[in-house]
Amino acid sequence: MILPTKEFLASEEVFGLPTLSVRRHLNDTHRERSEFENALVDEWGINLDTCELVRPGQNVVFAANDEDGEAVIVRATSNAHRSQEQVRAELEWIRFLDDVGVPVASLIEARSSKPVVSIINNERPFHLACFKRLDGTTLEGSRLERWDEELIRQWGRTIGLVHRWSKRFQSRGPKRYQWHELPELVLRGRRPDLFDEKVVARIDELFARLQTTKVDDSYLLVHGDIWPENFLVSDDEFVLFDFDQSMYCWKLYDLVVAFHAQYVHTLGEEPIIDGSQAGRFWKLLIEGYRDEARLEPEELRLAEPLLRLRLALDYMNSASEPKKWAASLNMPLEDYIPVVDGMGRSLLSDERIAPIDLTDV
């Protein structure tokens, strides 16, 4: 049974979790299951008594066991965040990467063989996916001094491996967004009232510049969010999950995201600004990447604009739903608002965001 804890109910209010009928009928042992619960049981044989909320966010993630006792992860994506076609395109790419040997969280096919299991729950559409639960060590919250050189290189190699196979991927169905089509970024035009107009103007300038940038072999389907919260380390191998922000973009973007997580915006924590450490991290990351995939020196010229693109995405997400993101970080809203304002100031500044020159490798 999924227990109606205070934390869970608070998360439901903020994040709009799929409704679980046990919360409405605590004293009713003969209650009907919700459509969400029915889907878990019918499509993947989930033992509902084992379900636990792992994290709410842009997607809502549950850990559970199936009827055979196998550990699984269930993800529920609101249609307000990603359409069924976009989730289908994401899952197709994950299957491809898994099939060619890239270490990713493996999908568990639904018994109905549907590409995406979609439900209407409490008048809200959700798209569901189930994955094998990974074994490994999380490095979430880790700082550079806890990373040895080989681990940083392996991070780069993992990104390079994804890109090497991404170049060969041919979608048979819907395609993922181009970077400028992400709903989080498009929102600035639909709801300008949510954002600082001066920051939006600078973001528009950045996008205009990027949209005139040449699209060539360096432009492909990228993960979009390879930072420590979205991989585990197992037997010195990085195993990836959460491809929700996958999109077509310049391949350097995935490397910039790794740097961004350590040195620019670290989710409310003070970033590391020691230039020597930043330079070491970037150099090792690029070295590892080049073990698996090509990266030409001229491609590095996009590093600062793509770093700003990542910061713009974080700003748009955070400024549009500050209550949601403060809750996901267990931060009081009054402490999170200055973090959002700081992102805006960085985007307004003409100063380089990175503490080092990212083209100098």
Looking at residue 29, what is its pLDDT?
Answer: 47
Residue ending a domain, choose from 132, 158, 177: 132
pLDDT bracket for residue 267 (50, 70, 90): low
**Which amino acid does the sequence have at 58?**
Q
Better-scored residue on pLDDT, 342 or 143: 342
If we measure between CA atoms, which residue out of 76, 16, 18, 14 comes closest to residue 44?
A: 76
| 338 domain-assigned | yes
Sign of the CA dihedral with 48 first, then 54, 55, and 60 last:
negative
Are 239 and 286 in a shared domain?
yes
Are 154 and 181 in a shared domain?
yes
> What are the CA-CA distances from residue 66 to residues 36, 50, 106, 130, 131 (Å)?
15, 8, 15, 10, 11
Are 199 and 305 in a shared domain?
yes
Q: Are 186 and 200 in contact (CB under 8 A)?
A: no
If we measure between CA atoms, which residue out of 133, 132, 115, 105 comes closest to residue 243?
A: 105
Say whether pLDDT at 138 is over 70: yes
Looking at residue 27, what is its pLDDT?
Answer: 39
Are 176 and 291 in a shared domain?
yes
> How is 73-135 classified by DSSP, letter by letter?
EEEEEETTTS-HHHHHHHHHHHHHHHHTT--BPPB---TT--SSEEEEETTEEEEEEEEEPP-
Are 169 and 80 in a shared domain?
no
pLDDT bracket for residue 142 (50, 70, 90): low
Looking at residue 159, what is its pLDDT?
Answer: 98
* Token reading at 263: 């040195």
Mean pLDDT of 139-143: 61
The helix (H) or strand (E) run that includes residue 233 is: strand 231-234
Residue ending a domain, choose from 71, 99, 132: 132
> How is 239-303 classified by DSSP, letter by letter?
EE---TT-EEEETHHHHHHHHHHHHT-BTTBPPP--HHHHHHHHHHHHHHHHHHS---GGGGGGH
Mean pLDDT of 174-186: 94
273-325 residue pLDDT tens = 566 788 999 999 999 999 999 999 999 999 999 999 999 999 999 999 898 88
> What are the CA-CA distances from residue 309 to residues 202, 315, 322, 346 (Å)?
11, 10, 19, 12
Q: Are 143 and 269 in contact (CB under 8 A)?
A: no
* Token reading at 138: 């999380």
Looking at residue 6, what is its pLDDT?
Answer: 41
Q: What percent of the chain has pLDDT over 70?
A: 86
Say whether pLDDT at 254 is over 80: yes
Q: Are 24 and 4 in contact (CB under 8 A)?
A: no
Are 126 and 157 in a shared domain?
no
5-57 residue pLDDT tens = 444 444 444 445 565 544 433 334 445 788 999 999 999 999 999 999 887 77
Say whether pLDDT at 335 is over 70: yes
211-249 residue pLDDT tens = 999 888 999 999 999 988 899 988 778 999 999 999 999
Looking at residue 310, what is its pLDDT?
Answer: 95
Looking at residue 100, what is its pLDDT?
Answer: 98
| 113 domain-assigned | yes
86-129 residue pLDDT tens = 999 999 999 999 999 999 999 999 999 998 999 998 888 999 99
Q: For position 194, which CATH number holds? A: 3.90.1200.10
Question: Strand ranges (DSSP E) for 114-196?
Answer: 117-121, 124-132, 137-138
Quote the number of domains for the chain: 2
Looking at residue 265, what is its pLDDT?
Answer: 65
Q: Look at 165-174, 299-308, 327-336 and tell me which has the smallest mean pLDDT.
A: 327-336
Domain that holds residue 308: 139-348
Mean pLDDT of 319-338: 88
Q: Are 349 and 359 in contact (CB under 8 A)?
A: no
